[in-house]
Chain A
Amino acid sequence: MRTEQGRGDRAVTTTAATGAADAFRLRAEQWLGRSVPERWKAERGALSEAEIDEIRLEWDRRLFRGGFAGISLPAEYGGQGLGLREEVAFHELAARAHAPEGFGRIGKILVAPALIADGTQAQRARYLPPILRGDHVWCQGFSEPGAGSDLASVSTVARAVPGGYLVRGQKVWTSFADKARKCLLLAKSDPEAPRYRNLTMFLVDMDQPGVTASPIRQISGASHFSEVFFENAFVAEEDRLGPEGEGWRVAMGVLNHERGAVEGVTRYVEMRGDLDRLIACCAGRAGTCSPVADFDTRLELVRWQISKTVAYQEDQARSAAAASVLKVTWSELWQEIAEYGLGAACPDHHAHWRNQYLETRATSIYSGSNEIQRNVIGDRILGLPR
């Protein structure tokens, strides 16, 4: 097992870099070096929740001022006009630099591409700038108590009224809901239409009577998600994203972004941190830690798989086939690492592994359970019958 390896040679994108990409990495690295708040780096554990929120909110604004918001979004919409390679590189460098995670993830990674793909000019003009500036936090109103893996059976209803729709129903497992100004909401708009054609996507204002969000406490004790209740919340006609009845198609596009390379590289860096911790703990305890070398190989393969997804982005079928395995691969590996970390009982990190063990129980469930993702691989990548 190799314990001496530094992190510097493990960049996801350096092997594939051109001169321009190198220049981008350098600029990003320098900017991160001077922009990540010292307080965050040095005493994150000691900060109050209000201080943490303040730093995370400010981080989105700093990203915008530094020219790192919307890296892969087209310049005409206020993005940086760069590619997936730079987007992935930046997320990797930010995670390595221990940068805070802003509140803008849903807006930038999921909502902005959906606005560009399916939004009207007016919607893009209205919503993209505040997403990029870090002024609007978004949440994603997809899952419901009765519609988890079976997302198409959402029962939140959007009823047409003059000038728009009234929304009634409950969403759950909604990240950032307690902070969000806006919600990308999937609702049933036509109770008569057949499955998959009865849904519509909406851009719903969270700041209105009739919308309440309350945090859900998870097994680790932390709250990363909320449940959200809509009691006749109003959404204007012009805030419908795409035509009526096309919500399922829009949602599938969003989910592909959610399980892709950008998400994967952020997880890779977090997992690398965990595994390096485990390697340090196992150093000098030869024989007791044999699975760790295997974890190391498999984790580096996550990195190569991401690089491959990025490199083949011009070849849609090959890129989709590569991206399809990312989420199931990293999520299950992270669980194994945490299980082993807890079992290895490293005295220095006992509290860490207890927490990681409980936190990683969720990785194979969120963003679509791994069972559902394996259905997706079987149905759409391999072409097996349903």
Chain B
Amino acid sequence: MAVQILFNFIIAIIWMFLHDAWNALTFISGYFIGFLFIFALRRFFPTRFYGYTVIAVVKLVFLFISELISSSILVAKQVTRPTINVTPGIFKVHTNLESDWEITLLSSLITLTPGSVVIEIAMEEKVLFIHAMDIPESEALVLKAQEKFERAIMEVTR
């Protein structure tokens, strides 16, 4: 996969040489053309076409942003109430992900879901300890969201 990205960069730089224009827009158009070349020649590479991974990454980023927006709105609602009436607490969640990268991504995503921050990770048992703003409500939200995140992360890493 790294080889494909390297090829794509080389094509983009050659494109910049051919145009004799050294700015970001030329680089991006050259990169796009190189992307099409590599897509057309994808069956000659031994590994999976890296575009599929890129699509999975883009999906993950959109998931990130939508979670961030909904959680910010939730925090804003709780903060602007006339009396603050929350029952925070710490609960634990078990995860099926394995590598360091996957768990890092999952905990960043959970930190951005409505009303939850990861406090501690026990790597041996693969348990995340999560601090939630409003226990019954947030716990249900996290458990529901976790499966979605794990699927999206596995699409990228496997």
A and B physically associate: no
Taking Cβ atoms with an 8 Å cutoff, the residues of A that contact B are none
